[in-house]
Structure 1
Amino acid sequence: MENKNPAKFSHLLQVQPEDIDMMGHVNNVVYLRWVQEVATAHWNYAAPDNLKSRYLWVVLRHEIDYLRPAFLTDQIQGFTWVGAHQGAKFDRFVTLYRAGSDQLLAQAKTTWCLLDAATMRPKRIDPDILAIL
């Protein structure tokens, strides 16, 4: 799943006290939130305002592998890139590392669907959108 392409988007996250569960590490559901935060940060960074106002994204499927725990003092470096697309859908990959290390904490593959913001119906992913991702 991992892509060593240096062009992938990177986003820094900070573990918060409320992210810690009764076992003393970041709760698994927080990793999923981070996956979505990294994807959203990428769209907000890459898309011009006219595209952000015309389109919305919804998640159709998440697959996530939890590999190592994160702790309160950790910063997390998230990386994302997009994979194959078909019609209104594409796969997005996210890896979450302990910042400043090679320690992969989690990796995810998420299927997203593009929606027309006015109609809330699926919209084929056009080349202008693919070009920015």
Structure 2
Amino acid sequence: MNWDLPKPFTLDIQVQADDIDELGHANNASYVRWLERCAWQHSQSLGLGVVEYRELDRAMAVVRHEIDYLAAAYAGEKLTMATWIVRWDKKLRMTRHFQLCRQSDGLTLLRAATTFACIELSSGKPKRMPPVFIEVYAKGVVADDALPKA
């Protein structure tokens, strides 16, 4: 795949019949589910899953999705979703970029950015990232020199 950034975390996806909407292609809600699944699996691969979130009484909750749908996906197609942590303040916020490509031809179907905020699970209120979040998520942050220049 021709990834936008180096060393992505990737998730393979096969478009299922229940992903397809009345227009005959994958529904936008399916894309959002794939974004979420990819982010979760990346966090788990780094060492922070739902068990750790509950133990720490902290979680990274979505506050904003920006999605560019570039081409449609169809039933049975094999796709690969990539993600990178591109920005974080080591306090409350973190931003991931995503790129979804069709495996058969490498075409990019979607690009997205999701902003997360650290919350306290027991109250739902914003709370600073605990030290373990900073330590673990640091392993997944893209180096500044790999990011495109504005």
TM-score band by shorter chain is: 0.7 to 0.9
The one-letter code of the counterpart of 2:47 is A
Shift of 1:28: 1.5
Number of the residue aligned with 2:30 = 30
Contact 1:47 1:132 survives alignment (8 Å): no
Distance, in Å, in 1 between the alignment partners of 2:21 and 2:37 is: 20
Query: Secondary structure of 2:79's match?
Result: strand
Identity %: 29
Look up the match of 2:5.
4
Q: Match of 1:80? A: 83
Inter-partner Cα distance in structure 2 for 1:79 and 1:58: 19
1:47 aligns with 2:52: no
The correspondence for 1:92, drawn from 72, 91, 96, is 96
Aligned to 2:109: 105
Displacement, 1:48? 4.7
Q: Does 1:62 align with 2:61?
A: no
116-125 or 19-28: bigger deviation: 116-125
Q: Shift of the alpha carbon at 1:26? A: 0.5
Displacement of 1:123 in angstroms is: 3.0
Q: SS of the counterpart of 2:5?
A: coil
**What is the CA deviation profile of residues 55-93 of structure 1, one whole-angstrom value per residue up to 9, with x for unaligned ones?**
312100000000010010111101000111123111111
- Secondary structure of the structure 2 residue equivalent to 1:73: coil
TM-score, structure 2 length as denominator? 0.77
CA distance in 2, matches of 1:91, 1:48: 16
Aligned partners of 1:130 and 1:26: how far apart in 2? 31
Which whole-Å CA distance do the structure 2 matches of 1:11 and 1:108 have between them?
Answer: 15
RMSD: 2.0
What 5-or-longer segments of structure 2 have no aligned partner?
141-150
Contact 2:25/2:72, CA 8 A, preserved across alignment: yes
Matched length = 131
Gaps of 5+ in 1: none
